[in-house]
Chains A and B, each alone.
Chain A
């Protein structure tokens, strides 16, 4: 009797070690692979540095000057801010096609509320930001509660917001000179500071602060970890006690607010309020996110990567223009970068044995 119960007898001669992952000798390639796996912003950072060095070598001081390098920051500020919003959404395995439209309608509301209804400019700015947040919240509600696919929801919202923008504004531009005279607060984020020949605008500062704050929040707060968890596996997150609905809605709402800020920065950048601007922001922001190494399947990547991704596009655009290349080459190279970025992403995901 007792011998037949001796189930563990077979294991008596086995090793008593606790099972563990093999942590053996890594070759330099494997070590690099591991580093990329743990620090997703590393690839775009390396590409960015390489691109700056390459254009610097090709063009010398014309490109490698504080003026040109800070100009790139100014040129990417709008895309950079919008891409930060896009990153949040994509980290939850969603996508937001309405970001550009939200930014533009926010800027139009800020302008028209001031000039058409004569509201104090501070109130108009708040209304613009509130509208952006409200549209984002609606997106989030449709995604989280109605369970509609984010692509469809934001595809629809993009059309709705864009049409509303044209209907409301009648496509009328508010001129820069009128704004400077009557409501300079609208152009606040265009305020320029000079440090030697380097030039920074308040919009650039806002972009950098926003990226740093979001990077911290995503890494070191419960909410930030929940965003990653929801993007990685919503059911597992739910079972672990994460409020998936709230997390999703808050992500889309935050994205909407950030787009509102982008709309404000847009006025500072182009001086005027123009309902036709920002048409390509959704595509440009997704480009920055992808080149920045955030996985479109959610849950992986860092917002710093997105920031570098936006800068890479800016560096290539200005660098190629300074070399006198046809603008078409810029688009071609950005296309190559997008595909290369996804290929690298796939390679990194292949966890080494």
Chain B
């Protein structure tokens, strides 16, 4: 098996044309979950641009589908063989990847987790990510402010990611509820709140199809839902279709997280009330800078004050700004959007 892996790794290396030529330049690897999702495409663009600017040889790898753990391990092994200075990784399986990451760190490589923290978070040298709790909190605060007094009688549904409740899912959901002023119970669990304003939650797999189905299921439970939290913008678009089918699309406030271009356009069109925008390009370009710094003098990147990770920022995008909630308008959101 190991021989097979090494052979595969070597073949992959040959295919991707890793520059082994001089052996003295700084090398870096970017390993993403997939190379099809626009979020990761933007990440790669950010890394490639910064690497070129700093004269770093960058190799990129990706799993075939989200959840393709095996390919990511192979990629790490290839990067170790290649003798790079640093690895940027968005892990598909945040705990199973840890031994491979440790192997790289033992080989003196700086490993930075992008977007998704490893579990435990200190398994990587540093994490460059969006503060997903804050992202959720911003849309929660905005929704409450936008509803005014009606927020006391809100009928809330949350459309989450999947049944395994990954960290990002929990953080966005609980952040939203906290922002809306709901008692969280255990902040590590979705669905244990006892506030009567919450109708329920359902899973969407983060796509349009799942968003529509989940919204329909929750509407069958309670047809008066008027606030909907969604894990991301495709799920929000699906939820909107379900509401449009029963003619309630204008009575329901949908909020989301991501900041992809179609999502921001949907904010402009009134499909989504507000969305928290994250910045994958920042994550990758800051990551490359950190690798360059590390290769030069061994400095390790530091976490943002008061957090366990380096916060790459988040901004609320809406054309209906509310007092006390910082936001940027759609035009600015469009300039910064990805995908």
Q: Do A and B bind each other?
A: yes
A residues in contact (CB < 8 Å) with B: 62, 67-68, 71, 74-75, 78, 166, 170-173, 175-177, 190, 192, 199, 266, 269-272, 274-279, 317-318, 321-322, 324, 326-328, 331
Q: Min CB distance, A164 to chain B, in Å?
A: 12
Instruction: Assess the A327–B269 pair: CB atoms within 8 A.
Output: no
Instruction: Assess the A326–B234 pair: CB atoms within 8 A.
Output: no
Instruction: Assess the B237–A271 pair: CB atoms within 8 A.
Output: yes
CB under 8 Å from chain A, chain B span 218-260: 218, 220-221, 234, 237-238, 240-241, 244-246
Instruction: Assess the B217–A321 pair: CB atoms within 8 A.
Output: yes
Q: Which residues of B contact A331 (CB under 8 A)?
A: 163
1/0 per residue B1-45: CB within 8 Å of A?
000000000000000000000000000000000001110010000
Partner of B212, one of A199, A269, A276: A269
- Say if the beta carbon of B77 comes within 8 Å of chain A: no
Which secondary structure dominates chain A's binding surface? helix
* Closest A residue, CB atoms, query B241: A271
* Docked complex Cα distance between A68 and B218 (Å): 11
* Closest A residue, CB atoms, query B38: A171
Instruction: Assess the A192–B245 pair: CB atoms within 8 A.
Output: yes
Instruction: Assess the A71–B216 pair: CB atoms within 8 A.
Output: yes
Instruction: Assess the A176–B240 pair: CB atoms within 8 A.
Output: yes
Instruction: Assess the B220–A67 pair: CB atoms within 8 A.
Output: yes
Instruction: Assess the B207–A75 pair: CB atoms within 8 A.
Output: no
Given pairs A171-B41, A175-B266, 4 additional interface contacts (CB within 8 A)? A170-B41, A173-B208, A175-B237, A269-B241
* Docked complex Cα distance between A263 and B50 (Å): 40
* Closest B residue, CB atoms, query A68: B220
Which secondary structure dominates chain B's binding surface? helix
* Docked complex Cα distance between A166 and B266 (Å): 23
Q: Which residues of A contact B65 (CB under 8 A)?
A: 279
Instruction: Assess the B36–A75 pair: CB atoms within 8 A.
Output: no
Instruction: Assess the A276–B265 pair: CB atoms within 8 A.
Output: no
Q: Which residues of B contact A175 (CB under 8 A)?
A: 237, 262, 265-266
Q: Which residues of B contact A190 (CB under 8 A)?
A: 245
Partner of A274, one of B200, B234, B240, B244: B234
**In the complex with contacts A176-B237, A276-B234, A321-B221, A166-B36 CB distance below 8 A:** yes
- Say if the beta carbon of B91 comes within 8 Å of chain A: no
Q: Which residues of B contact A321 (CB under 8 A)?
A: 202, 217-218, 220-221
Instruction: Assess the B234–A62 pair: CB atoms within 8 A.
Output: no
B residues in contact (CB < 8 Å) with A: 36-38, 41, 65, 163, 191, 200, 202-203, 207-209, 212-213, 216-218, 220-221, 234, 237-238, 240-241, 244-246, 262, 265-266, 269, 271, 339
* Docked complex Cα distance between A172 and B209 (Å): 15
Interface centre among B37, B38, B245 (most CB of A within 10 A): B245
Q: Which residues of B contact A74 (CB under 8 A)?
A: 216
* Docked complex Cα distance between A321 and B269 (Å): 31
* Docked complex Cα distance between A272 and B216 (Å): 17
Q: Min CB distance, A175 to chain B, in Å?
A: 5
Partner of A171, one of B37, B200, B271: B37
Instruction: Assess the B221–A277 pair: CB atoms within 8 A.
Output: no
Instruction: Assess the A173–B240 pair: CB atoms within 8 A.
Output: no
* Closest A residue, CB atoms, query B211: A270
Q: Min CB distance, A156 to chain B, in Å?
A: 14
* Docked complex Cα distance between A5 and B245 (Å): 87
Instruction: Assess the B262–A62 pair: CB atoms within 8 A.
Output: no
**In the complex with contacts A62-B220, A322-B221, A274-B208 CB distance below 8 A:** yes
| 9 A–B contacts, CB within 8 A, in A order | A62-B221, A71-B216, A71-B220, A173-B234, A270-B238, A317-B217, A321-B202, A322-B221, A324-B200
Instruction: Assess the A270–B212 pair: CB atoms within 8 A.
Output: yes
Q: Which residues of A contact B221 (CB under 8 A)?
A: 62, 321-322, 324
